């Protein structure tokens, strides 16, 4: 099967400064794609951009964007959009979870921030970049969802709800773009060891450690493998949805720990 070459493509990746987003950025650059990488941590983004340019010889634009802020998204994207003719790949990776408190005991401001990041940010970025995606050579939108979107668990009411939104939003996009060449994919990882848990548990190392005890979790590069597979399929082949689990993970909440 002849696969698609990403050489001289342009890929836009949110949440690119660490974890899954960082792994995706390096993987797509290794395949020859130019990049626009965005996240909140400007220094880390700039260091990444410099290293990727040096290692892979591709063009990289680093954008500082807070995906939970509508103003931040619009200000940054309006500047970039005016300079671009097309966009080939959009990876909506930025996501957030804060705490594992039961909802009635949780912090409302934190819940709203999670919704703004995981839902509103995804919507706005996709809307603003869609005209450029429609002009792409092998246009593809990939949303990073989660196994948490398939079923709720205690202490995850808001996070699970946002990932259920990602799934349904992605399915709706696929229908709306059905008369175009734009392919739409939802990647749903289970347990992946990244900085995600550090942020969720506010740096509490004992809580973070307990998440991964007794199991070999997925790593960011495993998700990047799946992204590579999805974007390099020939144009008649659309990967609609892939669920990734660690070998001893049965679903979003059940794990066999040795």
Active-site position among 159, 167, 256, 258: 159
- Measured CA to CA, the distance from residue 99 to residue 196 in angstroms comes to 11
Residue 13's contacts (CB-CB under 8 Å, 6 or more residues apart) are 21, 24, 25, 28, 35, 36, 37, 38, 91, 93
How many CB atoms are located within 10 Å of the residue 51 CB?
A: 13
Q: Which of 11, 6, 163 is nearest to 95 (CA)?
A: 163
Residue 132's contacts (CB-CB under 8 Å, 6 or more residues apart) are 81, 84, 85, 86, 87
One DSSP character per residue, 73-130 reads: HHHHHHHHHTT-S---EEEE----------GGGS-HHHHHHHHIIIIIHHHHHHHHHH
56 annotated active-site: no
Residue 234's contacts (CB-CB under 8 Å, 6 or more residues apart) are 1, 2, 3, 4
188 annotated active-site: no
Active-site position among 163, 167, 209, 258: 163
Q: Active-site residue numbers?
A: 159, 163
């Amino acid at each position: 099967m002849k696969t698609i070459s990403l050489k001289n493509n342009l890929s836009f990746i949110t949440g690119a400064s660490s974890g899954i987003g960082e792994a995706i950025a390096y993987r797509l650059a290794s395949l020859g794609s130019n990049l626009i990488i965005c996240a909140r941590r400007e220094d880390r983004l700039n260091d990444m951009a410099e290293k990727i340019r040096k290692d892979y010889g591709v063009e990289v634009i680093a954008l500082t964007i807070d995906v939970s802020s509508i103003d931040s998204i619009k200000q940054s994207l309006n500047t970039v959009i005016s300079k671009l003719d097309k966009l080939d790949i959009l990876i909506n990776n930025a996501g957030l979870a804060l705490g594992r408190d039961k909802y009635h005991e949780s912090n409302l401001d934190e819940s709203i921030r999670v919704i703004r990041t995981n839902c509103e940010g995804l919507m706005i970025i996709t809307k603003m970049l869609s005209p450029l995606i429609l002009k792409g050579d092998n246009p593809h939108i990939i949303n990073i969802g989660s196994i948490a979107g398939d079923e709720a668990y205690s202490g995850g009411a808001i996070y699970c709800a946002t990932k259920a939104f990602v799934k349904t939003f992605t399915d709706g996009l696929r229908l709306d773009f059905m008369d175009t060449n734009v392919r739409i994919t939802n990647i749903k990882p289970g347990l992946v060891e990244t900085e995600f848990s550090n942020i969720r548990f506010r740096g509490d190392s004992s809580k973070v450690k307990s998440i991964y005890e007794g199991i070999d979790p997925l790593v960011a590069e495993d998700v990047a493998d799946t992204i590579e597979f999805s974007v390099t399929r020939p144009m008649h082949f659309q990967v609609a949805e892939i669920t990734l689990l660690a070998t001893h993970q049965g679903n979003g909440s059940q794990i066999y720990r040795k």
